[in-house]
Amino acid sequence: MGGGVFYHIFSSAALVSLALYHLVSATTTYLKSPLAYVAKPYHPVSSSHRFKYLQLYLLITCLLIAFAHQTLISSDSDPLLKGSTPVHRFTSLQSAAVLFLFLILSLSLLISDATSLLPLPSDLFFALASAVFFLQSSSSASSASVQTSDLQAKCDSVSAQISALAALLCLILACQPRMFVADVGLGGAVCLQGLWMLQTGLSLYVDAFIPDGCHKLLDVVSGVEGSTKVRVGGL
């Protein structure tokens, strides 16, 4: 197992933890007062000022790590891993750009809640989050269209669909912030994305988890993007 699978495990753990915390907090808030329920971008961990923004601090830290990882691997020079090619550089930098937007959005939320410098109403936050999730969906779809590995293309395609669902749910919450079902659905979509990240990492980087009917074909001659391909069945 290389760095790729560990990055996917890290991303999966971060997304699933974030989603589960949001689901539990949103459900608890709704059960306390269903009629007064309004979706929130985040739920403080504690009323204590010291731990109030712990969730946002952890989220920002994870986004910084993910952004740095995507930026660094864009210049990977090992052709048997991915290669420093235009396709790999393009998809990696695309992912880094989307992560940077999520980072800016998270920082804006922290500044808005902790100070009065940048007022950010919840409906505006959900609208902006919808736009970023849509960009993430477009980025994943674009990556799927240029991948030379059929398996990775399929993984990116599914990821794009999940991000599109999250974008739709954020848009609904921007218009209907009292819709508890949409808030729970958003948490579920983020959790699903995290689980899919784990499945993607295992399928691409761990031989034991390659789907049945697929096997690797190593094209050492080309030595560039697509050195690792997947053939389905006997085709």
Question: Tens-of-pLDDT digits for all 235 residues of the chain?
Answer: 556 889 999 999 999 999 999 999 999 999 999 999 999 998 888 777 778 889 999 999 999 999 999 998 877 654 444 445 666 677 888 899 999 999 999 999 999 988 878 888 999 999 999 999 999 999 999 888 877 677 888 899 999 999 999 999 999 999 999 999 999 999 999 999 999 999 998 888 887 777 766 655 444 344 444 444 555 444 4
The enclosing H or E element of 65 equals helix 54-73
Rounded Cα gap, residues 187 and 180, in angstroms: 11
Helix (H, G, I), strand (E, B) or coil at 178: coil
CA distances from 60 to 24, 136, 153, 159, 192 (A): 21, 17, 28, 21, 20
Residues in the chain: 235
The enclosing H or E element of 217 equals strand 214-218
State pTM to two decimals: 0.85
Tokens read off for 52: 């109030």
Rounded Cα gap, residues 109 and 52, in angstroms: 13
**Predicted local confidence at residue 172, as pLDDT:** 97
Rounded Cα gap, residues 206 and 125, in angstroms: 38
Rounded Cα gap, residues 190 and 199, in angstroms: 14
CA dihedral 207, 213, 219, 222 (to 10 degrees): -120
Helix (H, G, I), strand (E, B) or coil at 1: coil
**Predicted local confidence at residue 158, as pLDDT:** 95
Beta strand residue intervals within the chain, DSSP E: 214-218, 228-232
Rounded Cα gap, residues 222 and 230, in angstroms: 16
**Predicted local confidence at residue 107, as pLDDT:** 95
Partners of 230 in the beta sheet? Answer: 216
Partners of 216 in the beta sheet? Answer: 230
Q: Which residues contact 144 (CB under 8 A, 6 or more apart)?
A: 152, 153, 154, 155, 156, 157, 160
Rg of the chain's alpha carbons, rounded to an integer?
19
Rounded Cα gap, residues 178 and 40, in angstroms: 10
